[in-house]
Chains A and B, each alone.
Chain A
Amino acid sequence: MEELFEKYWRGLLEPKAKLDFEEQLHNDEKISADYRSFAIAAEASKKLAFDDLKAEMTKPLAMPQKQRALKWWPIAAIILPLTIVAFLLATKTDSKKLFAENFKLPSVEQTRSDVDIQSTFAKLINSKDCAGALKFIDQLSADRTTNYYRFYEGICHLSSGDYEQAETLFGNLIQSQDSRFQADSEWYSLLTAIAKEDEDSTKKRISMILAKKRHPHLENTRKINRKIRSPLYNL
Protein backbone atom coordinates (compact mmCIF):
# COMPACT_ATOMS: atom_id res chain seq x y z
CA MET A 1 0.00 0.00 0.00
CA GLU A 2 2.90 2.37 0.82
CA GLU A 3 4.07 2.07 -2.79
CA LEU A 4 0.64 3.07 -4.08
CA PHE A 5 0.51 5.96 -1.62
CA GLU A 6 3.90 7.11 -2.80
CA LYS A 7 2.98 6.99 -6.48
CA TYR A 8 -0.19 8.96 -5.83
CA TRP A 9 1.64 11.48 -3.66
CA ARG A 10 4.28 11.97 -6.35
CA GLY A 11 1.58 12.25 -9.05
CA LEU A 12 2.98 9.26 -10.89
CA LEU A 13 -0.21 7.17 -11.17
CA GLU A 14 -1.78 6.66 -14.58
CA PRO A 15 -5.15 8.47 -14.93
CA LYS A 16 -7.19 5.27 -14.52
CA ALA A 17 -5.21 4.08 -11.48
CA LYS A 18 -5.42 7.57 -10.04
CA LEU A 19 -9.22 7.62 -10.34
CA ASP A 20 -9.51 4.16 -8.79
CA PHE A 21 -7.34 5.20 -5.88
CA GLU A 22 -9.24 8.42 -5.32
CA GLU A 23 -12.44 6.40 -5.23
CA GLN A 24 -10.88 4.18 -2.54
CA LEU A 25 -9.86 7.25 -0.58
CA HIS A 26 -13.40 8.54 -0.78
CA ASN A 27 -15.06 5.30 0.23
CA ASP A 28 -12.62 3.72 2.67
CA GLU A 29 -12.04 5.64 5.89
CA LYS A 30 -9.12 3.45 6.95
CA ILE A 31 -7.27 3.96 3.67
CA SER A 32 -8.11 7.64 3.78
CA ALA A 33 -6.68 8.00 7.30
CA ASP A 34 -3.61 5.95 6.42
CA TYR A 35 -2.98 8.01 3.32
CA ARG A 36 -3.40 11.24 5.25
CA SER A 37 -0.85 10.08 7.78
CA PHE A 38 1.50 9.02 4.97
CA ALA A 39 1.07 12.27 3.07
CA ILE A 40 1.82 14.44 6.11
CA ALA A 41 5.00 12.47 6.80
CA ALA A 42 5.94 12.62 3.11
CA GLU A 43 5.36 16.39 3.07
CA ALA A 44 7.50 16.72 6.18
CA SER A 45 10.25 14.79 4.38
CA LYS A 46 9.82 17.01 1.35
CA LYS A 47 10.12 20.05 3.59
CA LEU A 48 13.41 18.69 4.89
CA ALA A 49 14.64 18.34 1.32
CA PHE A 50 13.39 21.83 0.42
CA ASP A 51 15.17 23.33 3.43
CA ASP A 52 18.36 21.56 2.40
CA LEU A 53 18.11 22.73 -1.20
CA LYS A 54 17.50 26.30 -0.07
CA ALA A 55 20.53 26.17 2.18
CA GLU A 56 22.54 24.78 -0.73
CA MET A 57 21.54 27.63 -3.06
CA THR A 58 23.29 30.28 -1.03
CA LYS A 59 26.51 28.36 -0.52
CA PRO A 60 29.37 29.79 -2.58
CA LEU A 61 29.89 28.20 -5.95
CA ALA A 62 33.14 26.38 -6.53
CA MET A 63 35.86 28.92 -7.33
CA PRO A 64 36.18 29.78 -10.99
CA GLN A 65 38.98 28.08 -12.90
CA LYS A 66 41.23 31.14 -12.71
CA GLN A 67 40.94 31.45 -8.95
CA ARG A 68 41.38 27.73 -8.53
CA ALA A 69 44.59 27.99 -10.50
CA LEU A 70 45.71 30.82 -8.25
CA LYS A 71 45.13 28.62 -5.24
CA TRP A 72 47.86 26.37 -6.60
CA TRP A 73 50.40 29.19 -6.59
CA PRO A 74 51.49 28.80 -2.98
CA ILE A 75 52.09 25.09 -3.59
CA ALA A 76 53.81 25.78 -6.89
CA ALA A 77 55.90 28.47 -5.20
CA ILE A 78 57.24 25.81 -2.84
CA ILE A 79 57.54 22.96 -5.32
CA LEU A 80 59.17 24.92 -8.14
CA PRO A 81 62.28 26.11 -6.26
CA LEU A 82 62.65 22.65 -4.73
CA THR A 83 62.48 21.12 -8.20
CA ILE A 84 65.07 23.59 -9.48
CA VAL A 85 67.40 22.87 -6.55
CA ALA A 86 66.94 19.12 -7.06
CA PHE A 87 67.70 19.58 -10.76
CA LEU A 88 70.80 21.64 -10.01
CA LEU A 89 71.99 19.13 -7.46
CA ALA A 90 71.46 16.35 -9.95
CA THR A 91 73.24 18.19 -12.77
CA LYS A 92 75.92 20.09 -10.88
CA THR A 93 79.50 19.31 -11.68
CA ASP A 94 82.03 19.21 -8.93
CA SER A 95 85.76 18.58 -9.17
CA LYS A 96 85.44 14.91 -8.23
CA LYS A 97 82.83 14.34 -10.92
CA LEU A 98 84.88 16.27 -13.47
CA PHE A 99 87.98 14.26 -12.60
CA ALA A 100 86.11 10.95 -12.80
CA GLU A 101 84.65 11.91 -16.16
CA ASN A 102 88.08 12.62 -17.64
CA PHE A 103 90.61 10.42 -15.93
CA LYS A 104 91.49 7.20 -17.70
CA LEU A 105 94.44 4.99 -17.02
CA PRO A 106 96.22 4.91 -20.37
CA SER A 107 97.27 1.66 -21.89
CA VAL A 108 101.04 1.25 -22.04
CA GLU A 109 102.91 1.30 -25.29
CA GLN A 110 105.96 -0.87 -25.60
CA THR A 111 109.24 0.34 -27.01
CA ARG A 112 111.74 -1.85 -28.81
CA SER A 113 114.40 -1.56 -26.13
CA ASP A 114 114.15 -3.00 -22.71
CA VAL A 115 111.31 -5.15 -23.93
CA ASP A 116 111.21 -7.71 -21.17
CA ILE A 117 111.14 -5.24 -18.29
CA GLN A 118 108.73 -2.98 -20.07
CA SER A 119 106.47 -5.86 -20.95
CA THR A 120 106.18 -6.84 -17.30
CA PHE A 121 105.43 -3.23 -16.38
CA ALA A 122 102.90 -2.90 -19.20
CA LYS A 123 101.03 -5.91 -17.95
CA LEU A 124 100.74 -4.30 -14.50
CA ILE A 125 99.50 -1.01 -15.89
CA ASN A 126 97.11 -2.59 -18.38
CA SER A 127 95.66 -4.72 -15.63
CA LYS A 128 95.26 -1.48 -13.64
CA ASP A 129 97.53 -2.76 -10.89
CA CYS A 130 98.93 0.63 -9.91
CA ALA A 131 100.22 -0.61 -6.56
CA GLY A 132 102.14 -3.32 -8.36
CA ALA A 133 103.37 -0.84 -10.94
CA LEU A 134 104.65 1.60 -8.29
CA LYS A 135 106.41 -1.24 -6.49
CA PHE A 136 107.90 -2.32 -9.80
CA ILE A 137 109.28 1.17 -10.45
CA ASP A 138 110.71 1.36 -6.93
CA GLN A 139 112.74 -1.73 -7.64
CA LEU A 140 114.15 -0.36 -10.87
CA SER A 141 117.67 1.00 -10.76
CA ALA A 142 118.01 4.78 -11.16
CA ASP A 143 119.45 4.54 -14.65
CA ARG A 144 116.49 2.56 -15.88
CA THR A 145 113.93 5.03 -14.44
CA THR A 146 113.22 6.94 -17.60
CA ASN A 147 110.53 9.48 -18.36
CA TYR A 148 108.49 6.58 -19.56
CA TYR A 149 108.26 5.11 -16.06
CA ARG A 150 108.01 8.54 -14.46
CA PHE A 151 104.96 9.28 -16.57
CA TYR A 152 103.13 6.13 -15.54
CA GLU A 153 104.31 6.57 -11.99
CA GLY A 154 102.64 10.00 -12.00
CA ILE A 155 99.46 8.48 -13.35
CA CYS A 156 99.48 5.79 -10.70
CA HIS A 157 99.96 8.37 -7.95
CA LEU A 158 97.14 10.39 -9.42
CA SER A 159 94.96 7.29 -9.56
CA SER A 160 95.69 6.40 -5.94
CA GLY A 161 95.09 9.96 -4.69
CA ASP A 162 98.69 10.94 -4.07
CA TYR A 163 98.32 14.26 -5.85
CA GLU A 164 101.49 15.90 -4.57
CA GLN A 165 103.67 13.17 -5.99
CA ALA A 166 101.70 13.17 -9.22
CA GLU A 167 102.01 16.94 -9.54
CA THR A 168 105.79 16.84 -9.01
CA LEU A 169 106.27 14.08 -11.57
CA PHE A 170 104.11 15.74 -14.23
CA GLY A 171 105.77 19.08 -13.50
CA ASN A 172 109.19 17.56 -14.09
CA LEU A 173 108.05 15.88 -17.26
CA ILE A 174 106.62 19.16 -18.61
CA GLN A 175 109.88 20.95 -17.81
CA SER A 176 111.95 18.15 -19.43
CA GLN A 177 110.23 18.94 -22.71
CA ASP A 178 110.25 15.29 -23.69
CA SER A 179 107.97 15.44 -26.68
CA ARG A 180 106.72 11.88 -26.05
CA PHE A 181 105.17 12.84 -22.71
CA GLN A 182 104.83 16.61 -22.91
CA ALA A 183 101.23 16.87 -24.03
CA ASP A 184 99.98 13.96 -21.94
CA SER A 185 101.78 15.28 -18.87
CA GLU A 186 100.06 18.65 -19.34
CA TRP A 187 96.74 16.90 -19.55
CA TYR A 188 97.28 14.75 -16.45
CA SER A 189 98.71 17.75 -14.66
CA LEU A 190 95.41 19.51 -15.35
CA LEU A 191 93.51 16.50 -13.98
CA THR A 192 95.75 16.55 -10.90
CA ALA A 193 94.91 20.21 -10.31
CA ILE A 194 91.22 19.42 -10.68
CA ALA A 195 91.49 16.49 -8.27
CA LYS A 196 93.31 18.73 -5.79
CA GLU A 197 90.54 21.33 -6.21
CA ASP A 198 93.25 23.88 -6.89
CA GLU A 199 91.37 26.52 -8.86
CA ASP A 200 94.37 28.69 -9.83
CA SER A 201 96.43 25.74 -10.94
CA THR A 202 93.48 24.33 -12.90
CA LYS A 203 93.02 27.62 -14.79
CA LYS A 204 96.75 27.88 -15.54
CA ARG A 205 96.86 24.32 -16.91
CA ILE A 206 93.77 24.98 -19.01
CA SER A 207 95.29 28.16 -20.46
CA MET A 208 98.48 26.26 -21.19
CA ILE A 209 96.67 23.58 -23.18
CA LEU A 210 94.25 25.94 -24.91
CA ALA A 211 97.21 27.99 -26.13
CA LYS A 212 98.35 25.01 -28.20
CA LYS A 213 96.05 24.67 -31.15
CA ARG A 214 97.16 21.14 -31.96
CA HIS A 215 97.20 19.79 -28.45
CA PRO A 216 95.82 16.21 -28.45
CA HIS A 217 93.65 17.02 -25.40
CA LEU A 218 92.41 20.37 -26.71
CA GLU A 219 88.79 19.32 -27.16
CA ASN A 220 88.47 17.72 -23.72
CA THR A 221 90.18 20.74 -22.14
CA ARG A 222 87.67 23.06 -23.81
CA LYS A 223 84.84 20.99 -22.34
CA ILE A 224 86.41 21.18 -18.89
CA ASN A 225 86.90 24.92 -19.32
CA ARG A 226 83.18 25.35 -20.12
CA LYS A 227 82.17 23.29 -17.13
CA ILE A 228 84.35 25.01 -14.55
CA ARG A 229 83.15 28.40 -15.77
CA SER A 230 79.50 27.29 -15.54
CA PRO A 231 77.53 28.56 -12.51
CA LEU A 232 76.63 24.94 -11.84
CA TYR A 233 80.27 24.04 -11.17
CA ASN A 234 80.92 23.33 -7.51
CA LEU A 235 77.50 24.81 -6.56
Chain B
Amino acid sequence: MTDEQIIQNISAGAAKMNKAVRWIYQESGWKEQIKARLKKQGASDMESEDIFQEAICALVFNIRDNKFRGESKLTTYLSSISTKRWFTFRQKTQRAIDKGGNVMGDPADHTTTTPEEEILCQEERMHLDLALDTMGDKCKKVLKLWALNYSMQEIAQQMNYKSAGMARKKKHECLKRLQEKLIADPYFKQ
Protein backbone atom coordinates (compact mmCIF):
# COMPACT_ATOMS: atom_id res chain seq x y z
CA MET B 1 0.00 0.00 0.00
CA THR B 2 1.21 3.49 -0.74
CA ASP B 3 0.93 6.29 1.83
CA GLU B 4 -1.90 7.74 -0.21
CA GLN B 5 -3.84 4.47 -0.18
CA ILE B 6 -3.34 4.08 3.56
CA ILE B 7 -4.61 7.60 4.21
CA GLN B 8 -7.56 7.07 1.89
CA ASN B 9 -8.46 3.78 3.54
CA ILE B 10 -8.17 5.14 7.07
CA SER B 11 -10.24 8.17 6.13
CA ALA B 12 -12.86 5.89 4.57
CA GLY B 13 -13.21 4.09 7.92
CA ALA B 14 -14.84 0.72 8.62
CA ALA B 15 -13.42 -2.32 6.78
CA LYS B 16 -11.00 -0.27 4.66
CA MET B 17 -9.57 1.36 7.77
CA ASN B 18 -9.15 -2.01 9.48
CA LYS B 19 -7.41 -3.38 6.40
CA ALA B 20 -4.97 -0.47 6.39
CA VAL B 21 -4.30 -0.94 10.11
CA ARG B 22 -3.59 -4.64 9.60
CA TRP B 23 -1.34 -3.88 6.66
CA ILE B 24 0.72 -1.34 8.64
CA TYR B 25 1.10 -3.73 11.54
CA GLN B 26 1.73 -6.93 9.63
CA GLU B 27 2.95 -6.20 6.14
CA SER B 28 4.61 -2.80 5.95
CA GLY B 29 7.83 -3.86 7.67
CA TRP B 30 7.60 -0.67 9.76
CA LYS B 31 7.05 -2.64 12.97
CA GLU B 32 10.50 -4.25 12.88
CA GLN B 33 12.16 -0.96 11.94
CA ILE B 34 10.48 1.13 14.62
CA LYS B 35 10.69 -1.48 17.35
CA ALA B 36 14.43 -1.85 16.68
CA ARG B 37 14.86 1.91 17.04
CA LEU B 38 12.85 1.96 20.29
CA LYS B 39 14.92 -0.88 21.67
CA LYS B 40 18.09 1.07 20.90
CA GLN B 41 16.54 3.85 22.96
CA GLY B 42 16.07 1.47 25.85
CA ALA B 43 12.62 -0.02 25.38
CA SER B 44 12.04 -3.66 26.09
CA ASP B 45 10.44 -5.87 23.49
CA MET B 46 7.07 -5.66 25.22
CA GLU B 47 7.30 -1.91 25.66
CA SER B 48 8.31 -1.31 22.06
CA GLU B 49 5.41 -3.52 20.95
CA ASP B 50 2.94 -1.53 23.10
CA ILE B 51 4.37 1.78 21.96
CA PHE B 52 4.19 0.76 18.30
CA GLN B 53 0.56 -0.36 18.61
CA GLU B 54 -0.36 2.86 20.43
CA ALA B 55 1.43 4.86 17.74
CA ILE B 56 -0.64 3.22 15.00
CA CYS B 57 -3.80 4.10 16.94
CA ALA B 58 -2.60 7.69 17.31
CA LEU B 59 -1.81 7.79 13.58
CA VAL B 60 -5.34 6.62 12.80
CA PHE B 61 -6.82 9.28 15.05
CA ASN B 62 -4.61 12.01 13.57
CA ILE B 63 -5.52 11.05 10.02
CA ARG B 64 -9.22 10.92 10.84
CA ASP B 65 -9.02 14.27 12.67
CA ASN B 66 -7.17 15.73 9.64
CA LYS B 67 -4.17 16.49 11.80
CA PHE B 68 -1.75 14.66 9.53
CA ARG B 69 -0.67 17.21 6.97
CA GLY B 70 1.26 14.87 4.70
CA GLU B 71 4.52 16.78 5.16
CA SER B 72 6.47 13.60 5.76
CA LYS B 73 6.26 9.96 4.83
CA LEU B 74 3.91 7.90 6.98
CA THR B 75 6.74 5.71 8.20
CA THR B 76 8.67 8.80 9.37
CA TYR B 77 5.53 10.17 11.00
CA LEU B 78 4.80 6.88 12.76
CA SER B 79 8.40 6.61 13.89
CA SER B 80 8.23 10.13 15.27
CA ILE B 81 4.99 9.39 17.18
CA SER B 82 6.57 6.22 18.58
CA THR B 83 9.69 8.02 19.74
CA LYS B 84 7.66 10.80 21.38
CA ARG B 85 5.44 8.28 23.10
CA TRP B 86 8.45 6.34 24.31
CA PHE B 87 10.12 9.42 25.79
CA THR B 88 6.87 10.56 27.46
CA PHE B 89 6.41 7.09 28.90
CA ARG B 90 9.99 6.97 30.08
CA GLN B 91 9.77 10.43 31.69
CA LYS B 92 6.58 9.45 33.51
CA THR B 93 7.98 6.20 34.80
CA GLN B 94 11.24 7.86 35.79
CA ARG B 95 9.33 10.54 37.71
CA ALA B 96 7.33 7.86 39.44
CA ILE B 97 10.47 5.98 40.42
CA ASP B 98 11.95 9.20 41.81
CA LYS B 99 8.78 9.92 43.78
CA GLY B 100 8.65 6.41 45.09
CA GLY B 101 12.24 6.69 46.34
CA ASN B 102 13.44 3.78 44.31
CA VAL B 103 16.94 3.53 43.05
CA MET B 104 17.48 5.78 40.07
CA GLY B 105 19.50 4.29 37.31
CA ASP B 106 20.33 4.86 33.73
CA PRO B 107 17.01 5.40 31.90
CA ALA B 108 18.31 3.10 29.24
CA ASP B 109 18.35 0.32 31.79
CA HIS B 110 14.68 0.68 32.39
CA THR B 111 12.82 -2.46 31.63
CA THR B 112 9.28 -3.39 32.58
CA THR B 113 9.33 -2.52 36.25
CA THR B 114 6.03 -1.53 37.72
CA PRO B 115 6.42 2.11 38.51
CA GLU B 116 3.80 3.92 40.53
CA GLU B 117 2.52 5.92 37.61
CA GLU B 118 2.02 2.86 35.53
CA ILE B 119 0.00 1.34 38.34
CA LEU B 120 -2.07 4.52 38.44
CA CYS B 121 -2.65 4.28 34.71
CA GLN B 122 -3.67 0.70 35.07
CA GLU B 123 -6.00 1.66 37.91
CA GLU B 124 -7.49 4.41 35.77
CA ARG B 125 -7.98 1.97 32.93
CA MET B 126 -9.63 -0.47 35.28
CA HIS B 127 -12.14 2.20 36.41
CA LEU B 128 -12.83 3.20 32.83
CA ASP B 129 -13.42 -0.44 31.97
CA LEU B 130 -15.80 -0.81 34.91
CA ALA B 131 -17.87 2.13 33.68
CA LEU B 132 -17.75 0.95 30.07
CA ASP B 133 -18.81 -2.55 31.05
CA THR B 134 -22.11 -1.21 32.33
CA MET B 135 -22.85 0.39 28.94
CA GLY B 136 -24.75 -1.49 26.30
CA ASP B 137 -22.93 -2.78 23.21
CA LYS B 138 -24.72 -0.34 20.92
CA CYS B 139 -23.75 2.61 23.08
CA LYS B 140 -20.15 1.44 23.16
CA LYS B 141 -20.07 1.13 19.39
CA VAL B 142 -21.56 4.59 18.90
CA LEU B 143 -18.98 6.08 21.26
CA LYS B 144 -16.17 4.21 19.57
CA LEU B 145 -17.21 5.52 16.16
CA TRP B 146 -17.62 9.00 17.53
CA ALA B 147 -14.16 8.90 19.14
CA LEU B 148 -12.77 7.88 15.74
CA ASN B 149 -14.36 11.04 14.35
CA TYR B 150 -16.92 9.30 12.15
CA SER B 151 -19.48 11.79 10.88
CA MET B 152 -23.01 11.47 12.21
CA GLN B 153 -24.07 10.30 8.76
CA GLU B 154 -21.46 7.52 8.85
CA ILE B 155 -22.49 6.53 12.38
CA ALA B 156 -26.12 6.39 11.22
CA GLN B 157 -25.08 4.07 8.37
CA GLN B 158 -22.97 1.82 10.58
CA MET B 159 -25.62 1.60 13.28
CA ASN B 160 -28.62 1.42 10.93
CA TYR B 161 -30.12 4.60 12.33
CA LYS B 162 -32.62 6.44 10.21
CA SER B 163 -30.73 9.71 10.10
CA ALA B 164 -27.67 11.65 11.15
CA GLY B 165 -29.93 13.45 13.64
CA MET B 166 -30.79 10.14 15.27
CA ALA B 167 -27.08 9.25 15.45
CA ARG B 168 -26.32 12.62 17.07
CA LYS B 169 -29.08 12.06 19.64
CA LYS B 170 -27.83 8.54 20.46
CA LYS B 171 -24.24 9.68 20.77
CA HIS B 172 -25.29 12.50 23.13
CA GLU B 173 -27.34 10.11 25.29
CA CYS B 174 -24.54 7.53 25.46
CA LEU B 175 -21.88 10.08 26.25
CA LYS B 176 -24.05 11.61 29.00
CA ARG B 177 -24.71 8.19 30.47
CA LEU B 178 -21.01 7.36 30.48
CA GLN B 179 -20.19 10.71 32.08
CA GLU B 180 -22.73 10.04 34.84
CA LYS B 181 -21.28 6.61 35.50
CA LEU B 182 -17.73 7.92 35.59
CA ILE B 183 -18.61 10.83 37.87
CA ALA B 184 -20.39 8.44 40.20
CA ASP B 185 -17.10 6.53 40.60
CA PRO B 186 -15.20 7.94 43.62
CA TYR B 187 -11.94 7.37 41.75
CA PHE B 188 -12.82 10.07 39.19
CA LYS B 189 -14.46 12.35 41.75
CA GLN B 190 -11.09 13.07 43.32
Contacts and interface: CB of A to CB of B under 8 A. Distances in A.
Nearest to B62: A11
A163 B28 CA distance: 79
Nearest to B176: A41
Question: Residue among B19, B57, B183 with the most chain A CB within 10 A?
Answer: B57
Contacts, number: 80
Interface residues of B, number: 35
A44 B132 contact: yes
Interface in A95-111: none
B65 A48 contact: no
Nearest to A54: B53
Q: How large is the interface on A (under 10, 10 to 19, 20 to 34, 35 or more residues)?
A: 20 to 34
A212 interface: no
A59 B27 CA distance: 12
Given A10-B65, A40-B182, A48-B143, A53 B27 contact: no
A138 B187 CA distance: 117
A62 B20 CA distance: 11
A62 B182 contact: no
Contacts of B61: 46, 49
Nearest to A58: B25
A11 B21 contact: no
A42 interface: yes
Nearest to B25: A57
Contact of A61 (B23, B148, B178, B179): B23
A57 B183 CA distance: 32
B60 A47 contact: no
A56 interface: yes
A200 interface: no
A37 B24 CA distance: 34
B128 to A, nearest CB: 4
A47 to B, nearest CB: 6
A45 B149 contact: no
Nearest to B60: A53
B147 A48 contact: yes
B157 interface: no
Contacts of B73: none
Interface of A: 2, 10-12, 37-38, 40-50, 52-54, 56-62
